[in-house]
Structure 1
Amino acid sequence: MVVSLLACVVHLVLVRMSDAVDLGKGERAGLRRRLNDGDGSKKGQSEAAMGSGRMFDAVAPRYDFVNRVMSMGMDRAWRRRLVQTLQLEPSDRVLDVATGTADVAILVGQQMKSRENDTKRDGPCVIGVDPSANMLAVGRDKVSRAFLNDTVSLELGDALALQYEDSSFDKISISFGIRNVPAASRITALEEFHRVIKKEQGKRLAILEISEPAGTGLLARLARWFIRLNALVGAWLSGRRREYRHLLDSIQAFPKQDDFCYMIDKAGFTVLGVETMGFGTVKIFVAEPKATR
């Protein structure tokens, strides 16, 4: 039981924070320029210190190793289940947001490559996007070693300003990323997902996330205690107390299941179901886009 509870909170030490900027759709181009060119202002420098991209550039080389050790490999099972909920089809074009070192993108790519004889494709059918250049560099090496260069493409970008045309993807996934989008901007990210997904039957959004479990029972209390403990451990290991205080706060502040489902609905999706794992700390939200807003 202790191993399972520890696995539920692995991403406190690992999960990346999204850029703390509240953007509307009209500001996507400006964010893209900052991602590519940098921002020399004091505000930009502050955001770089706390933002997922530059901050996690430093931890990228050891990200996967620490992830596997702390989760006892459980995070792999959660990601595999996430991919299963997408119900992939041979002709799908898939976007993995906050792809990090491309674990989910590779899982999707392996499934799509195994079906490549069924469908002719023009270029990669799996796109992984992340704001950390170094995380993507690790991911590209993994993609290459998995012989998936023709199937998976990794690109620099942000959930709040996706650089893709409207209705250009069949399936969208995001694992341990939406919680770290600032609360005021979370609906913007979900609306971006709705913008780039095709509004047709069978298209899907799957969100894998961690949050504090509700309740006063023993397991819920233990899970919350381990979340706090791992935040302290993460701060000690990284020497980044402020960042891991933010991570703990974001877990505690993440919306309750019903409230988050309401946000997904408001962004233009219909929630099909929610799977709960890890004593209530890990959830997969599965939704499909509404035909009209």
Structure 2
Amino acid sequence: MGAESKHSHVHDVFESIAPKYDMMNDILSFRRHKAWRSFTMKKMDVKPGQVSLDLCCGTCDWTIALAKASGGRTVGLDFSANMLNMGQVKVDRLGLSSQIELVQGDAMDLPFPDNTFDYVTIGFGLRNVPDIAQVLREMKRVVKPGGKVVCLELSKPSWQPFKGLYYFYFEKLLPLLGKWLVRKYEQYRWLPESLAVFPDLAALAEMFRGVGLRNVRAYPLTGGIAALHIGTKGNDGA
């Protein structure tokens, strides 16, 4: 699948599954995604007043967590209007609309100046972009010197028998669950396909280093079914 066709396909997938996205996240992550995000926030150690950009923000759970942690300006960006609409409902319900700005845009071409944010995050979205390195370059560009680029994403466990069970779940059972629960078999078949070609924990850490991020740390989560990567932009801006 070429970059343009992948971009279009992924957009259609997420536009269509937006109403059931939160429920399916529980299923997709074995109900662990909230614990993974809590671990990530502890490692990030967000300080009061810091500004954050959350890419592929979906229905804005992580965007909201960042805003609550800092009390500062927080931007959520996604290319799916339906996802952003779902997120805006949450933001409004929590009374955070003056603090959180939601933007429809492309993670590969961010509409922000260089050196703008203390943190740039992407949660469960990097495997869906047409060009991972380009997104990482854009994340590094808009983060401030000394700021952090953070990715929380599904990954690939390496030890058996868990590895075999994991791939059976993702390749066979997950699309059927999508069909049964939200009548979206083709859309949920995309998720294991996207993971199959995604870099493993070590390879993604090398991609972080390859775009110039420093002090790259990688943490396997829940037996390696997910991973947290954190890289820092040099204080010299390089």
Calculate the TM-score normalised by the size of structure 1.
Answer: 0.73
Q: 1:224 aligns with which of 123, 148, 167?
A: 167
Counterpart in 2 of 1:58?
16
Query: More strand per residue: 1 or 2?
Result: 2
- RMSD (Å), alpha carbons: 2.4
Secondary structure of 2:144's partner?
Answer: coil
In 1, the alpha carbon distance for the partners of 2:178 and 2:30 equals 20
In 1, the alpha carbon distance for the partners of 2:29 and 2:205 equals 27
Q: 2:39 aligns with which of 81, 89, 104?
A: 81
Q: Contact (CA 8 Å) 1:101, 1:136: kept in 2 or not?
A: yes
Q: 2:101 aligns with which of 137, 148, 153?
A: 153
**Greater mean alpha carbon deviation, residues 80-89 or residues 133-142:** 80-89
Counterpart in 1 of 2:118?
170
CA 1:79/1:20 → structure 2, altered by over 3 Å: closer, same or farther? farther
Structure 1 residue 60 displacement after superposition: 1.6
Q: Contact (CA 8 Å) 2:155, 2:201: kept in 1 or not?
A: no
Matched residue count: 236
Letter in 2 for 1:147: G
Counterpart in 2 of 1:199?
145
Task: Find runs of 4+ consecutive structure 1 residues off by over 3 angstroms.
Answer: 19-22, 68-73, 237-246
Counterpart in 2 of 1:33?
none
Counterpart in 2 of 1:247?
191
Map Cα deviations across residues 271-293 of structure 1 (whole Å, 9 max, x no partner). Answer: 43211112111110011013354
Q: Contact (CA 8 Å) 1:213, 1:224: kept in 2 or not?
A: no
Alignment of 1:253-292 (within 5 A): 253-290=197-234, 291-292=236-237
1:214 aligns with 2:158: yes
Counterpart in 2 of 1:236?
179
Secondary structure of 1:107's partner?
Answer: helix
Q: 1:97 aligns with which of 42, 55, 71?
A: 55
Structure 1 residue 62 displacement after superposition: 2.1
Letter in 2 for 1:226: Y
Q: Contact (CA 8 Å) 1:105, 1:128: kept in 2 or not?
A: yes
**Greater mean alpha carbon deviation, residues 138-147 or residues 236-245:** 236-245
Map Cα deviations across residues 133-175 of structure 1 (whole Å, 9 max, x no partner). Answer: 1111110110111111122111101110111001111111111
Structure 1 residue 20 displacement after superposition: 6.2
In 2, the alpha carbon distance for the partners of 1:286 and 1:190 equals 11
Q: 1:132 aligns with which of 72, 80, 86?
A: 80
Structure 1 residue 127 displacement after superposition: 0.2
Q: Contact (CA 8 Å) 1:82, 1:207: kept in 2 or not?
A: no
In 2, the alpha carbon distance for the partners of 1:262 and 1:58 equals 33
In 2, the alpha carbon distance for the partners of 1:254 and 1:137 equals 28
CA 1:70/1:258 → structure 2, altered by over 3 Å: closer, same or farther? closer
Secondary structure of 1:255's partner?
Answer: coil
Gaps of 5+ in 2: none
In 2, the alpha carbon distance for the partners of 1:211 and 1:234 equals 20
Secondary structure of 1:173's partner?
Answer: strand
Letter in 2 for 1:189: V
Structure 1 residue 132 displacement after superposition: 0.6
CA 1:47/1:199 → structure 2, altered by over 3 Å: closer, same or farther? closer
Q: Contact (CA 8 Å) 1:86, 1:205: kept in 2 or not?
A: no
Map Cα deviations across residues 32-84 of structure 1 (whole Å, 9 max, x no partner). Answer: xxxxxxxxxxx7xx853x132x4322222222233346656421111222222
Structure whose CA Rg is larger: 1
Q: Contact (CA 8 Å) 2:10, 2:128: kept in 1 or not?
A: no
% of aligned pairs identical?
Answer: 27
